Structure 1
Amino acid sequence: MALAALTISAGAFATDRIIEVPAPTPGADMTGTIRQVLNDAGAVKNSKVTVVFQPGAVYNISRSAATALVRHVSNTTTRGENPDPTKHFGLWLHGMKNVTVDGRGATLLTHGEMTAIGIDSCTNVTITNLNIDAADPSVPEMRVVSRTDSTLTTSVVPPSRYSINSQGKLYWEGNGWQFTGGIAQLWGNGYTLRCASPMDRYRYASTDSRGNLVWHYDAGQAPECAPGMVYQMRHSIRNEVATFINRSERVTLSDMNYLFLGNFGIVAQMSSDITYDRVRCLPDPASGRTCAGFADFMQVSGCRDKVKITRCDFAGAHDDPINIHGTHLKVVKCEGNTVDVRFMHGQTRGFENYLPGDEIAVTDPHSLLRGARAKVKSIRQLSDTDYRLTLDRSLEEAINALGGDAVIDNISANPEVEITYNTFTLTPTRGILLTTSGKTVIAHNTFIKIPMASILIADDARSWFESGPVCDVTIRNNRFIDCASPVILIAPENDKDLGPVHSGIRITDNDFIFNTPGPQKPVLIEAHGTKDLKINGNRSNIPSGLNIKN
């Protein structure tokens, strides 16, 4: 394999080096070639390294040739859904420092369900100028051609593939995957909304003389839709992610085009100083596709220091474009200076949620108020859900005061957050879901036709177990266009009111625009369980209201 290493300049490092990825052979699987280049880059010491792809080239990468490693990822799958948590990494960066991967406009085209990029235990890594797409996106699409009360005629959007067996049962297919049934969304009229799947009640499927896919139902059972609308369908197993950033620091993704994110989004977990700049999560407009993501676009779990998301575009998700949170673990045993804790939501488990030196707090899962604190000295894994923490002092008294019904919040894993100059649209859920105690600024963003709260500040310890309270949030100079009511929702999930959960929230100088107002006056801001809430300078083009319950 020919690799070019060029000396660029001298500076803080001995040399700066460039290593080229060879031009792809048409139709060939380039996974192994890219792996070797990254291994060579990782072997370079005391030097900054830039790995460059050939400008505009398309590199096929496959699940079958990927680096297969067991990695547990927050908010993905239960044991029952996915007994094997192995991820299949196309680009695998492990233990690297001071590395830039410059795609120069190249495309990684995935084949099979896989994780396109993995960044694990790395420091000062940048991925830039790279496109991510799928040869077989695991969210097939079909456009409605016509409908009767017993038939639905559709045109399948390439590259979606399917087969129909002798009984007329349809299976959506890709490289190494197949499903029938599942979850559906309907795109049209400027919205993407969850809906009943057209695969729920059909009797059989067939093709007509024009190559259209025709679904046959009992009389009156064809789903309600209109010509031109697009069904997006998927199974529910988040067995891979688009990009996984794990236990790394100073990681930047910039000028990236994620044309499809399967089967979850960009996940930063237990990492610090994360920057996403000009990351576009959008379907390729030339492809005819309307969906860019299997679930969330950006999930930030248990991170610290600072998370910056700026100048990004989000359209075509199947869940929240941005979700930033920590994780409450339930106390199952406490003796002296040791506490045994457990991941409670089935889709999150298997990774250490703490680092030595982290400050933790005993939290009442019903009031969500933090109590006594301690620092973690060591962590021992007992199972994929249970961990034993050795602390610098006992929390036994505080836990017993709650009758043993307590959770632990990792105070140290609450990053500062900056979300600025982004655009959000065509999602079935919220725009931003956020729970962090770090200083947060959400400013100069545009939200278009978001069907739930555009911004939700939550906190819970009995459902998703996503922590924690906010204490310094500024929401300013954003534009909300035809978004659902309430547009901004502050709603901690406490069922016992012993005092406010959130504090220090300022909502100022935002524009709320309703081009097609409904019959009821929209609620711009709804809040409860919050103190020191300041609202001023906001504008709306129609009469609107607030719903504040402190």
Structure 2
Amino acid sequence: MARPEPLFEDVRSIRVVGERDIRIDYEYADEPADLGLVYSMRSTTRDHPGALVLDSAEVTLSRMRFRFLHGFGVAAQTSRDVTVEGCQFQAPPDSGRHSAGFADFIPVLRLLGTSCRARLPLRRELPDGLVGWTAVENVTRTPTVQIVRNIFRNVPTRGVLVTSRRAVLIEENRFEHTGMASIYVSGDAAEWWESGPVRDVTIRGNEFVEPGGPAIHLDPRNTQCDQRRAVHSGVLVTENQFVLDGVPALDAKSTRGIRFRDNSIVQRGQETPDIILRSCFDVRIELDSAGRKRAPSGGLGEINA
């Protein structure tokens, strides 16, 4: 079995063999289970972004090349009408590096506020069920989002992470070998304190090629699920092409009103459900033999738990 991150396990010696090369000898002679993988190492401290758009309006970044971004990439916060067009986020071909960064290339942030009954002025009493800390989202500052005709290739994490209750369109993009989910829709008021629910997401006409996690992951971080109060809603996935290896096309939790139709799915590798649903309601999934292909060992399954 493959070991978790075995690069520095059972090491006999490490020595420098060139200006930018090291040689690692191991205690065992077997062919490594991670043969062919590329390991990227970095400092885990992310103390600043590569560029910052702050308290601004009508900002356009056009035809720029970002070759290396320490920590977070081009961050935008409390700004409006921000356009990124024709930009390239890629390490120089002759640099020996495989990625231009180790976190989000374009984080557009709105942090949730946290408060107890006393740190925020209110016009009326809070409901009895709210005790301790409460997350507060300024819904007047949530953006509309359009991510159209981009290529996301060999990203070590997710291709797109988006949570906004206004309209989100992700269309005609190509996602190749993302390390995790190609499109990740979170919803978190417990760890990063940065996002609320989505209400109108269209994922249309994209190509997904062998992501490391679910191609599309609807993953709010709530610990209790209630049919009457699903976190996310209004997600349409249509006219996409999925080429997958052991991961689902869609993995969704606590979402109401999913529509999945007119998609092409090719599954390779181990048997894996195309769709995984957890505490999802009012869901319409259309999978037909004309729109999907699968290796003989595969199987189709849907889970709702």
> Any unmatched runs of 5+ in structure 2?
281-305
Hey, what does 1:503 align to over in structure 2?
233
**Is the Cα–Cα contact under 8 Å of residues 102 and 156 in structure 2 kept in the other structure?**
no
Paired amino acid for 1:529? S
> Any unmatched runs of 5+ in structure 1?
1-193, 303-326, 335-339, 341-388
1:309-324 pair list within 5 angstroms: none
Hey, what does 2:68 align to over in structure 1?
260
Seen in structure 2, the aligned counterparts of structure 1 residues 477 and 397 have a Cα distance that, compared at 3 Å, is same
Between the aligned partners of 1:291 and 1:446, the Cα distance in structure 2 is: 17
Paired amino acid for 2:266? N
Paired amino acid for 1:262? H
Between the aligned partners of 2:37 and 2:212, the Cα distance in structure 1 is: 21
1:229-244 pair list within 5 angstroms: 230-244=38-52
Hey, what does 2:159 align to over in structure 1?
431
Hey, what does 2:302 align to over in structure 1?
none
Seen in structure 2, the aligned counterparts of structure 1 residues 330 and 226 have a Cα distance that, compared at 3 Å, is closer
**Secondary structure in structure 2 of the residue aligned to 1:401:** coil
CA-CA distance at 1:225 after TM superposition:
7.8
Between the aligned partners of 1:456 and 1:444, the Cα distance in structure 2 is: 17
Residue 271 (structure 1) aligned to one of 76, 79, 92: 79
Hey, what does 1:410 align to over in structure 2?
138
CA-CA distance at 1:465 after TM superposition:
1.9
Hey, what does 1:397 align to over in structure 2?
126
**Is the Cα–Cα contact under 8 Å of residues 151 and 173 in structure 2 kept in the other structure?**
yes
Aligned residues: 270
Paired amino acid for 2:275? L
Between the aligned partners of 2:129 and 2:36, the Cα distance in structure 1 is: 60
**Is the Cα–Cα contact under 8 Å of residues 205 and 213 in structure 1 kept in the other structure?**
no
Higher strand fraction: Structure 1 or Structure 2? 1
TM-score, L = length of structure 2:
0.78
Seen in structure 2, the aligned counterparts of structure 1 residues 455 and 201 have a Cα distance that, compared at 3 Å, is same
CA-CA distance at 1:484 after TM superposition:
3.9
TM-score, L = length of structure 1:
0.45
Residue 473 (structure 1) aligned to one of 190, 197, 201: 201
Between the aligned partners of 2:97 and 2:59, the Cα distance in structure 1 is: 30
Seen in structure 2, the aligned counterparts of structure 1 residues 396 and 201 have a Cα distance that, compared at 3 Å, is farther
Paired amino acid for 2:237? I
Hey, what does 1:251 align to over in structure 2?
59
Between the aligned partners of 2:103 and 2:30, the Cα distance in structure 1 is: 26
Hey, what does 1:328 align to over in structure 2?
112
**Is the Cα–Cα contact under 8 Å of residues 146 and 168 in structure 2 kept in the other structure?**
yes
**Secondary structure in structure 2 of the residue aligned to 1:285:** coil
CA-CA distance at 1:458 after TM superposition:
1.2
Seen in structure 2, the aligned counterparts of structure 1 residues 546 and 211 have a Cα distance that, compared at 3 Å, is closer
Hey, what does 2:242 align to over in structure 1?
512
Paired amino acid for 1:508? T
Paired amino acid for 2:108? V
Paired amino acid for 2:150? N
1:434-453 pair list within 5 angstroms: 434-453=162-181
Paired amino acid for 1:531? R
Between the aligned partners of 1:428 and 1:250, the Cα distance in structure 2 is: 30
**Secondary structure in structure 2 of the residue aligned to 1:466:** coil
Paired amino acid for 1:330? T
Seen in structure 2, the aligned counterparts of structure 1 residues 404 and 221 have a Cα distance that, compared at 3 Å, is farther
CA-CA distance at 1:439 after TM superposition:
0.7
* Root-mean-square deviation over aligned CA pairs: 2.9
Seen in structure 2, the aligned counterparts of structure 1 residues 201 and 413 have a Cα distance that, compared at 3 Å, is farther
**Secondary structure in structure 1 of the residue aligned to 2:188:** coil
| Cα distance per residue 1:385-419 (max 9 Å; x no partner) | xxxx44xx425323x43123422111122100001
CA-CA distance at 1:261 after TM superposition:
0.9
